[in-house]
Structure 1
Amino acid sequence: MTRKTTRQSAKKPAARKAAAKPVLLSGGNPQIAKGEGDAPVQAYIAAMPGWKRDVGRKLDALIVRAVPGVHKAVKWNTPFYGFKDQGWFLAYHCFAKYVKVTFFQGSSLRPLPAGVSKYQAVRYLDIHEGELDEAQFTDWVKQASRLPGERL
């Protein structure tokens, strides 16, 4: 009887194993393999912890609605948005208490996003729980998508 049980357990399909929980790096940032397209970005969003997942879904939906045909990728555990062969205009990243949006040519946006950077052209928007101003964010996304992209 022991032999039969051993053989049967060896034949169980791998699909029955529980899905691995996403690895969260420092500050709760998901560790996602780099990749081009929507799938890695959606994997990143699905792995965002707690309330940040809803922010990620909202950011992605607003960007896609504001910039039809936007190109997406995950690099350095961060979703990037831009145009293929023209560079990136925006990225976002999870931190312990907020989601940081990076506008690569943010110093050209009006009004200026509040967060300053050591890089003159870059501006940041820190989104804490319940603080996303969708109208202002959408306006900045539209402006940023018309500026030259960052090639990383």
Structure 2
Amino acid sequence: MVARVARLRRDSRCALDPPYAVFALPAAGSECAGGTRAARAAADPPPGRDPPRRPRRQATATAVDPHRPRSSYPRSLSTEPEGAITMTRKTATPATPAPRKSPKASTHPAATAPLPESLNGKASPAKAATGDAPVFAYIASLPQPQRAIAERIDALAARTLPGLERSVKWGMSYYGVGDGWCFCCGAFASHVKLMFVNGVMLDPVPPVTPVAMGKATRGVEIASADDIDERQIAAWMKQITAVPGVGKRPQK
């Protein structure tokens, strides 16, 4: 028994105190003691040096207050409060403006003021100008049925009188052949007046004496295109252009 205990103490380096067996601490020169001392030396810094600092663990999450506005958190915060609604502002894309259409040059002037009941200075705001285009523009600006009547008179004059020239004067269309203007055509509220300068010389004399157009001027009032007597009007056109007109037309 004694030999067995001595062997156990030698092998395990422990002391047995009957009736209990307690492992003894390793002796000062034992391998276990050396290993423990070496581990402590490695763990404890040498005197005069600061112990090494442990690296800080980076926080992976930050407590979020669901009642705190999202804009107050740092930008590095990637977590959102549970149940929170994220509002994203949508950048408005500027609408591409539609290409503007270049206004087409119109040969027809805008509609003028209501037609006058009678001649009082000017029959319309049309500006005085010589040539076919101003007369065509004046006729095109008229309402119906005055436009249809004026177009019929203009076409009849073009067929009847070779070398017909046109002009706009006093807001009406004037026609002539030779040295002056011989007759005119103006639109009014209820009719179109066809007036012949020196109409008292015509046969038969036209029945209407226009106001403010001179004592020798005579003409007819036409309420609709159906009232146009082309045969009689063409005869008057030929008669009136056979005598000198009024107003010298500019030379071209």
TM-score, normalization by structure 1: 0.83
Q: Which moves more between the two structures, 109-118 or 11-20?
A: 11-20
Report the structure, 1 or 2, having the larger helix content.
Answer: 1
Q: Which moves more between the two structures, 90-99 or 24-33?
A: 24-33
1:77–1:120 distance in 2 versus 1, CA, 3 Å: closer
Q: Is the 8 A contact 1:25 1:31 kept in 2?
A: no
Does residue 112 (structure 1) correspond to residue 205 (structure 2)? The answer is yes
Aligned to 2:243: 147
1:20–1:82 distance in 2 versus 1, CA, 3 Å: closer
Does residue 57 (structure 1) correspond to residue 151 (structure 2)? The answer is yes
- For 2:133, give the aligned amino acid: A
Which of the numbers 6, 9, 14 marks the counterpart of 2:102?
A: 14
Corresponding residue pairs, total: 148
**Aligned equivalents of 1:136 and 1:13: distance in 2?**
49
> Cα offset for 1:30?
4.8
Q: Is the 8 A contact 1:30 1:47 kept in 2?
A: no
Does residue 33 (structure 1) correspond to residue 157 (structure 2)? The answer is no
**Aligned equivalents of 1:137 and 1:2: distance in 2?**
68
Same amino acid, percent of matched pairs:
31
Q: Is the 8 A contact 2:126 2:138 kept in 1?
A: yes
Which of the numbers 195, 206, 222 marks the counterpart of 1:127?
A: 222
Aligned to 2:17: none
Segments of structure 1 that go 5 or more residues without pairing to the other structure are none
**Aligned equivalents of 1:2 and 1:117: distance in 2?**
67
| Structural mapping, 1:75-94, within 5 Å | 75-83=169-177, 86-94=179-187
Q: Is the 8 A contact 2:200 2:216 kept in 1?
A: yes
Q: CA RMSD in A?
A: 2.7
Q: Which moves more between the two structures, 123-132 or 12-21?
A: 12-21
**Aligned equivalents of 1:117 and 1:16: distance in 2?**
39
- For 1:23, give the aligned amino acid: T
- Pick 1 or 2: higher relative contact order, CA cutoff 8 A, min separation 6: 1
1:22–1:66 distance in 2 versus 1, CA, 3 Å: same
- For 2:102, give the aligned amino acid: A
Report the structure, 1 or 2, having the larger strand content.
Answer: 1
1:80–1:16 distance in 2 versus 1, CA, 3 Å: closer
**Aligned equivalents of 1:95 and 1:149: distance in 2?**
24
TM-score, normalization by structure 2: 0.52
- For 1:131, give the aligned amino acid: D
**Aligned equivalents of 2:241 and 2:180: distance in 1?**
10
- For 2:112, give the aligned amino acid: V
SS state at 1:27 partner: coil
Segments of structure 2 that go 5 or more residues without pairing to the other structure are 1-91, 118-122
